[in-house]
Chains A and B, each alone.
Chain A
Amino acid sequence: MNKPLDSARGRPLSLRVARRIVALTSVVVPRAERAEWRREWEAELEHRWAMTRRRPTDWRSGMDLIRRASGAFPDAAWLRRQFTADADLVHDLRHTVRLALKTPGPTAIALLVFAVGIGATTAIASLADTLLVRPLPLSDADRIVTIWERNTATGIGHADVAPGNAIDWVGRSRSFQAIAAVEPWSVDYTGGDEPEVLRAGRVSERFFDVLGVRMFHGRAFLPQEYVRGNDRVVILGHGVWETRFGGDPALVGRAIQLGDEPYTVVGILPPDIELRLLGGPERVLWLPKYFEEYEPKIRTSGYWNVIARLSPGVTLEQARAEMDGLSRQLATELPRSNTNTVAEVITLRDHLAGSLHALVPLLAGAAVFLLIVACANVANILIARGALRGRELAVRQALGAGRGRVVRQLLTETLLLAAIGGGLGLFVARWALDLIARLRPVDVARVDSIPLDVRSALMAFGLTIAASVVAGLAPALQLSRPAAATALHEGQSGGPRRGVRGALVVVEVALALLLVVGAGLLLRSFALIQKVDPGFQRDHVRALQVFAYDRRNEKPEGRALFVQRVLENMRSLPGISAAGVVSAMPFIEANMNIQAIVEIVGRPPAPPGDDSRIFLNVAAGDYFQAMGISLLRGRLLNERDIAGSPAVVLISRTAARTHWPGADPIGSRLKFRYHGRPFEAEVVGIVGDARHDALDQPARAELYLPHAQAPTGAVTFVVRSREGSPVTMMDLKKQIWAQDPLEPLYRTATLDELVDRTLVGRRFSLVLLAGFAAAALLLASAGLYGVLSSSTSHRTREFGVRIALGAGRREIVGLVIREGLLLAAIGLVIGLGGAVWLTKFLRSLLFGVTPTDPVTFSAVAAGILVIALVSCYLPARRAVKVDPLIALRAE
């Protein structure tokens, strides 16, 4: 750079200012020209000053110098503009936009394809991120685990825990810094518009230490509050505090009336705590739990949950190993009840992710496949468009553009397309997430609130880059091949690049087939599961669940009378064909699933591990008629089976099969305990099986006691109405309130709703996978269509010659269709091969079909061939419309 020649000569201020202006402005000048530019300006300024220095300097010439120097800025700016205008990127972008405007059709399709591909993948990525990666709103939440029972005989896990086991786990385990049991509870709240039940959990001493939450207001329970008589305290969930109690912080320390007792509110939980414990909707109240004397004895009926926080330094595997050891120990101590029972440790996160936990990898795979298909599709569109640009690219290369330069230009084009497509994709993702929220599977937490935020945008951005490279690289390398320069003298004929385009279509068809096979398997599973006979008739049945245990229904006789009167009133309503009660209502969320070990009088007790458990249920009224459960042998329960009369039971068909193989159960006498009371009863009838929790789970062995002989307060009224009955759910509620105006209804629903709820998860995975499959199929057929149309337009002359030489239209059509079907067939074969290998990952979602179900596979293959045929036929028809004269003249 130019140094001041001699600063001692005392330059005037004006020159110094002018030089400073030039120096500052020089940063605008492109680097390559900067030094020379500055030298030129400084030389002019110095020269001008050298000239004037011989004359007396006046302020006017000084001002002139500064004014001139300020002209350096427009000069520098002009150079910078020229420079950027020439820069490759800007140039390429401009070129892309011009090209896009010239070919709006393919551009729009490419944008749409990118939008769908990137959008769907972003949505699934956000879903996976929310469920599996984002921190839970609890401190160090990844150290929190839930512990469940698994039955090694049936393989059923993630099951509620028997109180006795939970108490032993809490007392004996060492891996946890805190561990607590949770008991399902509910309290009546009559402070609102109608009596309602608030779902509660009674929690043992270390529960809030496990959660590690700081109360929003107030405090957690004190140790002395986990003691009988001292336990009339409650902690409210944030939601119920706001909706029922107006979000008043002064509520802490005050008493609220729950059921028959006043409870002092000691704390309010912070918002957004979701634990999904004890099944069904989130619990809203928490009460202290101390263990009752009889509870350690309950080993066969699981209805508690256990939650724990790992001690520092203890890994999940170590905790699992300890719990396995503890389970073995308990099995040795209590062989009759615990032989097949092991503890299953599941992290809180996995528990909260629910059924989606297994589904997310599947959906992520599907989304990636769709994205690949989308990229292949865009690549195909680009190559097709590139073929039209063969001349342009050839000219560029002939004029000296290197291959790298051409590749860069083509990649820039793809990147721009992908960027706009990715932007649109965010809208697609928002829409997809709303759809997911609407389809929300019941056991999945936080699906409603999957945000589309910076993280999602970043994921979309990453996907965009990846997609544009994947979609752009093949066309770029293909089109930039020096051989492409032959396009200069090739004219229009010759179908270049059919090889690559064909390969892309094969990929699309193969991946589409994979997705369609997956969706097909789920669809068939869904159809089969809906055809499962649940053992009852779903339509026109309403269920109303109550827990009538409060002071008004304290006496067993009182409960029996309450049930009897309500049933009478319900039957008197118009259009009601049957009304009954049951204690364990099929498909309802909250059930007392009581199991007992049953001893058949006159037979030796079953050896340990031989599972002789039967589910105990209590029924009354026309329960079996209302449900449409058939009587197979013997008689049903009737009004003569009352407290004083001989004890009787009904058994289900499965119970008859498993416990009386080859023998007649009618007349057998059974010994078992129910609610701690010993029973000895005679089997008087066999009824049909009713599936209990899910259509895809086998019916369980069940035993029904008459309500009058076992008057439990936990009952569900089951009412069947005739077609066109005017009776509403409210009418039925009123029959209950007529007997007890303060009796809250825990749950009311139609039987259809209850059954349907269990299918939500399946419907969810089906709809999502089907969506992916449909999109992939559409893209693949569009790809096939695109390849064939451009190949036929390239072969116009050939067809013209053939027609001129006497080829029939049919032969020409055959020629085109054969080309297309060959591609489709290769894709099919590859796709089928992949499907055989990949569908095994679907196994847990299937029902009644094997992962390689031949029906699904052949139906999908046939369907795709038909679609391929249609995609080929349209271009083929155009090919035969070629007029040989015109085709030949075109050369």
Chain B
Amino acid sequence: MNLTYPTTLVLQALANGFHYGFDVIDATALPSGTVYPILRRLEREALVRARWEKPEIARREQRPPRRYYELTAAGEALLETALARYRAPQAIAARGRRLRPARSS
């Protein structure tokens, strides 16, 4: 797996509780055209697992169900390696919280 800086950012966003595509975009401040291919790649490499949001939640909010991403064990391990390589992304947590959607449970 090609462990780039944006990949590391995405991994860390997922680890920090941002589970939806647009939330990861908010958290990392990366463009959507970068984040999504990274998510696809991670999913393909089984570093990330994707599921659909429960329909009840979506119905309650009167919108379609969203796709939900979470790290697998391998993904978490990779994040460890990545963090060892790039120390900076720690900052994301703070920034991410600030942008966290109001709706959040």
Which A residues lie within 8 Å of B64 (CB)? Answer: 2, 5, 39, 42-43, 46
Which B residues lie within 8 Å of A47 (CB)? Answer: 20, 22, 61, 63, 66
Known: A40-B67, A47-B20. A75 touches B32 (CB 8 A): yes
In the assembled complex, B14 has its CB within 8 A of some CB on chain A:
no
**Residue on A nearest B21 in the bound complex, by CB:** A44
Which A residues lie within 8 Å of B62 (CB)? Answer: 5-6, 50
B63 touches A75 (CB 8 A): no
In the assembled complex, A362 has its CB within 8 A of some CB on chain B:
no
In the assembled complex, B87 has its CB within 8 A of some CB on chain A:
no
B34 touches A71 (CB 8 A): yes
**Residue on B nearest A39 in the bound complex, by CB:** B64
Within 8 A of A (CB), among B11-38: 20-22, 25, 31-37
Q: How far is the CB of B89 from chain A (nearest CB, A)?
A: 21
The distance in angstroms between the C-alpha atoms of A42 and B41, with both chains bound, is: 20
The distance in angstroms between the C-alpha atoms of A72 and B34, with both chains bound, is: 10
Which B residues lie within 8 Å of A43 (CB)? Answer: 53, 58, 63-67
Within 8 A of B (CB), among A52-74: 54, 67-74
The distance in angstroms between the C-alpha atoms of A71 and B33, with both chains bound, is: 4
Known: A2-B64, A5-B62, A5-B63. A71 touches B35 (CB 8 A): yes
> Which of A5, A40, A54 is packed against the most chain B CB atoms within 10 Å?
A40
Q: How far is the CB of B4 from chain A (nearest CB, A)?
A: 14
In the assembled complex, A858 has its CB within 8 A of some CB on chain B:
no
Q: What is the interface size of chain B, counting residues whose CB is below 8 A from a CB of the partner?
A: 26
In the assembled complex, B40 has its CB within 8 A of some CB on chain A:
yes
Q: How far is the CB of A415 from chain B (nearest CB, A)?
A: 30
Q: Which residue from B33, B35, B53, B101 sits with its C-beta under 8 Å from A51?
A: B101
> Which of B20, B61, B63, B103 is packed against the most chain A CB atoms within 10 Å?
B63
Q: How far is the CB of B30 from chain A (nearest CB, A)?
A: 9
A78 touches B37 (CB 8 A): yes
**Residue on A nearest B61 in the bound complex, by CB:** A50
In the assembled complex, A48 has its CB within 8 A of some CB on chain B:
yes
Q: How far is the CB of B20 from chain A (nearest CB, A)?
A: 7
B32 touches A71 (CB 8 A): yes
The distance in angstroms between the C-alpha atoms of A54 and B103, with both chains bound, is: 11
**Residue on B nearest A5 in the bound complex, by CB:** B62
The distance in angstroms between the C-alpha atoms of A68 and B33, with both chains bound, is: 8
The distance in angstroms between the C-alpha atoms of A5 and B102, with both chains bound, is: 22
Within 8 A of B (CB), among A3-55: 5-6, 39-40, 42-44, 46-48, 50-51, 54
In the assembled complex, A177 has its CB within 8 A of some CB on chain B:
no
A79 touches B63 (CB 8 A): no
Q: How far is the CB of B78 from chain A (nearest CB, A)?
A: 19
Which A residues lie within 8 Å of B41 (CB)? Answer: 78
Which B residues lie within 8 Å of A51 (CB)? Answer: 101-103
Q: How far is the CB of B69 from chain A (nearest CB, A)?
A: 10
Which A residues lie within 8 Å of B58 (CB)? Answer: 43
In the assembled complex, A725 has its CB within 8 A of some CB on chain B:
no
B101 touches A44 (CB 8 A): no
In the assembled complex, A82 has its CB within 8 A of some CB on chain B:
yes
The distance in angstroms between the C-alpha atoms of A75 and B67, with both chains bound, is: 15
Q: Which residue from A2, A42, A70 sits with its C-beta under 8 Å from B32?
A: A70
Which B residues lie within 8 Å of A75 (CB)? Answer: 32-33, 36-37, 40
Within 8 A of B (CB), among A69-98: 69-75, 78-79, 82
The distance in angstroms between the C-alpha atoms of A408 and B9, with both chains bound, is: 42
Known: A42-B64, A43-B65. A48 touches B33 (CB 8 A): no
Tally the A-B contacts, defined by beta carbons under 8 Å: 74
> Which of B31, B64, B65 is packed against the most chain A CB atoms within 10 Å?
B64
Q: How far is the CB of A83 from chain B (nearest CB, A)?
A: 11
Q: How far is the CB of A671 from chain B (nearest CB, A)?
A: 107
Known: A51-B102, A74-B37, A79-B40. A67 touches B32 (CB 8 A): yes
The distance in angstroms between the C-alpha atoms of A5 and B25, with both chains bound, is: 25
Which B residues lie within 8 Å of A2 (CB)? Answer: 64
**Residue on A nearest B101 in the bound complex, by CB:** A51
Q: Which residue from A6, A42, A46, A78 sits with its C-beta under 8 Å from B40?
A: A78
A50 touches B63 (CB 8 A): yes
**Residue on A nearest B39 in the bound complex, by CB:** A75
A46 touches B32 (CB 8 A): no
The distance in angstroms between the C-alpha atoms of A6 and B64, with both chains bound, is: 12
Which A residues lie within 8 Å of B102 (CB)? Answer: 51, 54
Over the window 63-105 of chain B, the binary record of Cβ atoms lying under 8 Å from chain A Cβ atoms (1 yes, 0 no) is: 1111100000000000000000000000000000000011100
Q: Which residue from A39, A44, A71 sits with its C-beta under 8 Å from B31?
A: A71
Which A residues lie within 8 Å of B31 (CB)? Answer: 67, 71
Q: How far is the CB of A74 from chain B (nearest CB, A)?
A: 3
Q: Which residue from A6, A44, A79 sits with its C-beta under 8 Å from B22?
A: A44
Known: A2-B64, A40-B67, A78-B37. A68 touches B44 (CB 8 A): no
B34 touches A74 (CB 8 A): yes
The distance in angstroms between the C-alpha atoms of A221 and B78, with both chains bound, is: 95
Q: How far is the CB of B53 from chain A (nearest CB, A)?
A: 8
Which A residues lie within 8 Å of B61 (CB)? Answer: 47, 50
The distance in angstroms between the C-alpha atoms of A507 and B36, with both chains bound, is: 58
Which A residues lie within 8 Å of B101 (CB)? Answer: 51
**Residue on A nearest B58 in the bound complex, by CB:** A43
The distance in angstroms between the C-alpha atoms of A74 and B38, with both chains bound, is: 11
Which B residues lie within 8 Å of A42 (CB)? Answer: 64
Which A residues lie within 8 Å of B34 (CB)? Answer: 71, 74
The distance in angstroms between the C-alpha atoms of A42 and B66, with both chains bound, is: 9
Within 8 A of A (CB), among B44-60: 44, 53, 58
Q: How far is the CB of A64 from chain B (nearest CB, A)?
A: 10
The distance in angstroms between the C-alpha atoms of A78 and B40, with both chains bound, is: 9
Which B residues lie within 8 Å of A79 (CB)? Answer: 40
The distance in angstroms between the C-alpha atoms of A84 and B101, with both chains bound, is: 37
Which A residues lie within 8 Å of B44 (CB)? Answer: 82
Q: How far is the CB of B57 from chain A (nearest CB, A)?
A: 10
Which B residues lie within 8 Å of A54 (CB)? Answer: 102
Which A residues lie within 8 Å of B35 (CB)? Answer: 71
A40 touches B66 (CB 8 A): yes
Known: A44-B21, A47-B20. A73 touches B67 (CB 8 A): no
The distance in angstroms between the C-alpha atoms of A79 and B53, with both chains bound, is: 22
A74 touches B33 (CB 8 A): yes
**Residue on B nearest A75 in the bound complex, by CB:** B36
The distance in angstroms between the C-alpha atoms of A51 and B25, with both chains bound, is: 15
**Residue on B nearest A78 in the bound complex, by CB:** B37
Q: How far is the CB of A221 from chain B (nearest CB, A)?
A: 79
Which B residues lie within 8 Å of A46 (CB)? Answer: 63-64
The distance in angstroms between the C-alpha atoms of A74 and B30, with both chains bound, is: 13
The distance in angstroms between the C-alpha atoms of A44 and B53, with both chains bound, is: 11
B103 touches A68 (CB 8 A): no
The distance in angstroms between the C-alpha atoms of A50 and B40, with both chains bound, is: 25
Which A residues lie within 8 Å of B65 (CB)? Answer: 39, 43
> Which of A54, A69, A75 is packed against the most chain B CB atoms within 10 Å?
A75
The distance in angstroms between the C-alpha atoms of A184 and B56, with both chains bound, is: 101
Which A residues lie within 8 Å of B22 (CB)? Answer: 44, 47-48, 68
The distance in angstroms between the C-alpha atoms of A71 and B32, with both chains bound, is: 5
B37 touches A40 (CB 8 A): no
B33 touches A70 (CB 8 A): yes
**Residue on B nearest A49 in the bound complex, by CB:** B63
The distance in angstroms between the C-alpha atoms of A78 and B41, with both chains bound, is: 9
Q: How far is the CB of B21 from chain A (nearest CB, A)?
A: 5
26 pairs, A vs B, C-beta closer than 8 Å: A5-B63, A5-B64, A6-B62, A39-B67, A40-B21, A40-B67, A43-B53, A43-B66, A44-B67, A46-B64, A47-B66, A50-B62, A67-B31, A67-B32, A68-B22, A68-B32, A69-B32, A70-B33, A71-B25, A73-B33, A74-B33, A75-B33, A75-B36, A78-B40, A78-B41, A79-B40
Q: Which 10 A-B pairs have the closest CB atoms?
A: A71-B32, A74-B33, A71-B33, A75-B36, A78-B37, A46-B63, A43-B64, A40-B67, A43-B66, A68-B32
A contact residues vs B (CB 8 Å cutoff): 2, 5-6, 39-40, 42-44, 46-48, 50-51, 54, 67-75, 78-79, 82
Known A-B contacts: A46-B64, A47-B63, A54-B102. Give 5 more (CB < 8 A): A40-B66, A47-B61, A50-B63, A70-B33, A71-B32
